């Protein structure tokens, strides 16, 4: 998804990775949304998990598009704040996915 020039570790010269979908924000949004829904379908999630996937994807839209000024205007020129913001978003989303992906244990017949 990211730019085509992402190094895997600091000081790495080559190879660089990234599909470059963020150059086309709407394409990136659709790819991320379809991927999330595909994973949900393959692993048999329930409707609450599907709702989380859609809502989390919509919440990412301002980060994908320069046409939506917030939070990009606030984060511009603050690289540590950007990574902290993204880390917090990952932790919250992962926690919600874990919570919503848990399946109730089926009662065993005796």
Domain of 41?
21-101
| Cβ neighbours of 50 (radius 10 Å) | 15
> What predicted TM-score, i.e. pTM, was given to this entire model?
0.73
pLDDT higher than 90, residue 34: yes
**pLDDT score recorded for residue 64:** 80
Number of domains in the chain: 1
- Do the domain assignments include residue 64? yes
Which residues have a Cβ under 8 Å from the Cβ of 19 and sit 6 or more positions away? 1, 2, 4
For the chain, give the mean pLDDT: 83
- Do the domain assignments include residue 65? yes
- Do the domain assignments include residue 33? yes
| Cβ neighbours of 34 (radius 10 Å) | 11
**pLDDT score recorded for residue 76:** 85
- Do the domain assignments include residue 60? yes
- Do the domain assignments include residue 7? no
| Average pLDDT rounded to a whole number, residues 32-55 | 93
What letter does residue 59 receive in the DSSP assignment?
H
**pLDDT score recorded for residue 22:** 76
- 24 vs 34, higher pLDDT: 34
Q: Which of 96, 100, 98, 93 is nearest to 32 (CA)?
A: 93
Give CA–CA dist 44/20, Å, rounded. Answer: 30
> Backbone phi, then psi, for 17, in 5-degree steps?
-125, 165
């Amino acid at each position: 998804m990211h730019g085509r020039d992402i190094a895997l570790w600091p000081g790495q010269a080559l190879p660089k990775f990234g599909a470059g979908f963020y150059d086309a924000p709407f394409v990136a949004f659709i790819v991320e949304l379809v991927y999330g829904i595909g994973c949900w379908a393959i692993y048999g999630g329930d409707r609450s998990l599907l709702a989380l996937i859609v809502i989390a994807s919509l919440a990412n839209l301002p980060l994908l598009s320069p046409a939506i000024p917030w939070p990009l205007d606030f984060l511009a020129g603050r690289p540590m704040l950007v990574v902290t913001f993204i880390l917090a978003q990952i932790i919250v989303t992962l926690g919600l996915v874990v919570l919503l992906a848990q399946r109730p244990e089926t009662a065993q017949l005796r």
